[in-house]
Copies of this chain bind each other. A is one copy, B any other.
Amino acid sequence: MNPLPITSWAVLGLLSFGRELSGYDLKKWADQSLGFFYWSPSYSQIYSELRRLESVGYAASEEVAGDIRAKRLYRITPVGEDALRAWARETPVEPVVLKHGPMLRLWLGHLQDPERLREMLLAQRELAEKRRVEAETDVAAAESTPEWAFPTLTLRWAARYYAAERDRIDAMLADLADLACDLGDADADRPPFSR
């Protein structure tokens, strides 16, 4: 049997805080926790990961007649706890992956209208600020509960991350403005493809 993908462990991790949750709720919660520093898997993947976790005995589920409609609630099993702990302790840490779409566009700035680049950065700035506020409010909600100590740490990290992202965009906007001046000066030797 191949080792489980990281996503599996992440989903099992969501269950390791001692609550029983449906796939739907798991996704919602993943968006607000995992989503800040790891990515949040799609619904369909959450459901299939849950089935996989159940098939290897790391999770168990039961059909529950909810307030309105039947749900399938998943919980972590003792075997699953052991496996997750072993994974967290013994597996080499995954390298950080960053795919920064806006920077890719900037890197190819010689193909673009400088004004469009500026607009793109401003939009990105707004997004980062929104995420920052989200993380900040989530910190405030979580920091009083001792069980959430570690999630609170990562939320605090996320708030700093998105604040820094916002500031870097400001710095980039300034650099871009400088660059526009320089290019304005030396009209003769434009970079390639700038027509």
Contact = CB atoms under 8 A, between A and B. Distances in A.
A150 B108 contact: yes
Nearest to A112: B88
Contacts of A157: 103, 106, 168, 171-172
Task: Say what secondary structure dominates the interface of chain A.
Answer: helix
Nearest to A164: B164
A105 B95 CA distance: 11
A131 to B, nearest CB: 10
Interface residues of A, number: 66
Given A100-B37, A100-B38, A175-B153, A191 B108 contact: no
Interface in A176-195: 176, 179, 182-183, 186, 189, 191-193
Contacts of A130: none
A85 interface: yes
B89 A112 contact: yes
A97 B97 contact: yes
Contacts of A176: 153
A135 interface: no
A116 B123 CA distance: 39
Interface stretch (A10-18, A49-57, A61-69): A10-18
Most buried by B among A88, A113, A123: A88
A46 B136 CA distance: 40
B192 A17 contact: yes
A103 B176 CA distance: 32
Given A84-B111, A168-B164, A183-B149, A103 B37 contact: yes
B153 A179 contact: yes
